[in-house]
Amino acid sequence: MKHFIIPDFYKSPIISRVKEIRKVNDPRKKDYSPTLLDFGPVKFYIARHFGFCYGVEHAIETAYKAIEENEEKRIFLLSQMIHNPEVNNDLLKRGVKFLMDTSGNQIIPFEDLTSNDIVVIPAFGTTLEIEKKLNNIGIEVRKYDTTCPFVERVWKKSEKLGQESYSIIIHGKYNHEETRATFSRSEKDAPAIVVKNIEESKIIGEYILGHVSDEDFENKFKGRYSENFDPKIHLSRVGVINQTTMLATETQEIADYFKKIMIEKHGEAHIKDHFADTRDTLCYATNENQEATYALLKTDANLAIVVGGYNSSNTSHIVELCEEKLPTYFISSAAEIVSQRRINHFDFKNHEHLVSDNYLPENTEVKIILTSGASCPDSVIDSVLQKILSYYPNAKSIEQVLAELN
């Protein structure tokens, strides 16, 4: 797999070293068990897979290359490069400006752009409509297009489904940049509709079976399907694709559900006429991070700390998995750790910031799961680990613990 050049300040002396050791010892990525960093009074279980993935490293390399190659030009990001505040803030400090926010609301009008400007397309990709606007201005869209190749693979699958006369069910968050881009590509080739989860999928399934009215269907999905979408016609032959950062297990559950519905409606002998197998749209990095999280949850940890941007979809899913088993604190950086007794963290389900006291157990050996989403730099994880470690003056040194791993 291609190696990308990312700034050294995103790397770290601890986490990057742990990753390198695991890479050497497990080059085929067969072992999902976590790495134990045993400092004595505090122990960290570090996920086998987390942090920058292929698509994120590609995006970061391209963004910094755009800055380096265009010192005299204005440089714009279509929206956030990736969903991580550390990365986006550093780009802003270097003079890069955002054209839109993550919801697609305009910050700088396209009318203010000229053909001499540089626009960087984020890892999530963009819609055909926006791409056309930029092309009409004369901007070289492809020059600094950082769209993740795994997102593009989903687009190719949607195109193939359309060519084979399937309607497309997209598992994703409707307002997410990637889902908006995928929906734009999908509706070009076929009728398309977005579902957020298995519960929404079941409403569509019940409609297919005749148990939900047209009115109830319209009330639930209005604004989330392509123009001229007719559920009576277009839900008779479907394929499922996904926003690549969704839970892989949930995407598979949704696909399996629609397959079951089509068998119930049309019979197993005719399933290929009504359902397309699309499991290969799942992103390898998202899947690896989620599998590594399941392995983390087999440990005897007291709590989990998950680090990443609060609008990061893949990070929120890791938080969701951890919350099912143990106290979990979703933080954006070490700055959220106020003291040994207090931590600021984010409730992504209710979109609110929380403050918790006594998050670290007292008078006992502390065991902490530490991981992040695919857009979090190793250096940020490093700073979280070192801040917590500072509360334990009798802990073994970092050098000693890392030496024990070799």
Place of tokens 């990365």: 87
CB 151 within 8 A of CB 126: no
pLDDT per position as a tens digit, 46-67? 999 999 888 889 999 999 999 9
Comparing CA positions, the residue from 327, 280, 275 lying closest to residue 306 is: 327
Whether 178 sits among the annotated catalytic residues: the reply is: yes
DSSP letters, 51-98, are S--HHHHHHHHHHHHHHHH-TTS-EEESS-SSS-HHHHHHHHHTT-EE
Specify the CATH number for the domain of residue 27.
3.40.1010.20
The token pair at 127 is: 């819609």
* Class of residue 5 by CB neighbours under 10 A (exposed 0-12, middle 13-18, buried 19+): exposed
Specify burial of residue 157 (Cβ count, 10 A radius: 0-12, 13-18, 19+): buried
Q: What percent of the chain has pLDDT over 70?
A: 99
Per-residue CA distances from 288 to 119, 144, 170, 375 (Å):
31, 27, 21, 14
Report whether pLDDT(115) > 80.
yes
- Whether residues 331 and 267 fall in one domain: no
324 with 387, same domain: the answer is: yes
Spatial separation of the C-alpha atoms in residues 319 and 354, rounded to whole Å: 15
Round to whole Å and give the CA distance between 119 and 132. Answer: 13
- Look at residue 24 and tell me if it is in a domain: yes
Average pLDDT in the chain: 94
Question: Sign of the C-alpha dihedral, residues 238, 243, 246, 249?
Answer: positive
**Gap between the Cα atoms of 103 and 302, Å rounded:** 36
| CB-based contact 255:278 (threshold 8 Å) | yes
The total domain count for the chain is 3
The active-site residue out of 57, 178, 187, 250 is: 178
Per residue in 219-255, pLDDT (tens digit) is 999 999 999 999 999 999 999 999 988 888 899 999 9
Q: Among 247, 281, 315, give the residue marking a domain's end.
A: 281
Distance CA 280, CA 54 (A): 17
- Is residue 190 within 8 A of residue 179, CB to CB? The reply is no
pLDDT reported for residue 1 = 59
Q: Is the pLDDT of residue 179 over 80?
A: yes
Q: Tell me, what's the pLDDT at 99? A: 96
Q: Domain containing 113 — which CATH number?
A: 3.40.50.11270
What's the domain range around 88? 54-144
The answer on pLDDT for 2 being more than 80 is no
Q: CA 215 to CA 396: how far, in whole Å?
A: 65
DSSP secondary structure code for residue 8 in this structure? G
In a domain? residue 1: no
Q: Give the pair of three-digit tokens for residue 303.
A: 């709590």
Pair (89, 27) in one structural domain: no
| Whether residues 242 and 317 fall in one domain | no
Res 352: pLDDT: 97
Amino acid code (one letter) for 143: K
165 and 260 part of one domain: yes
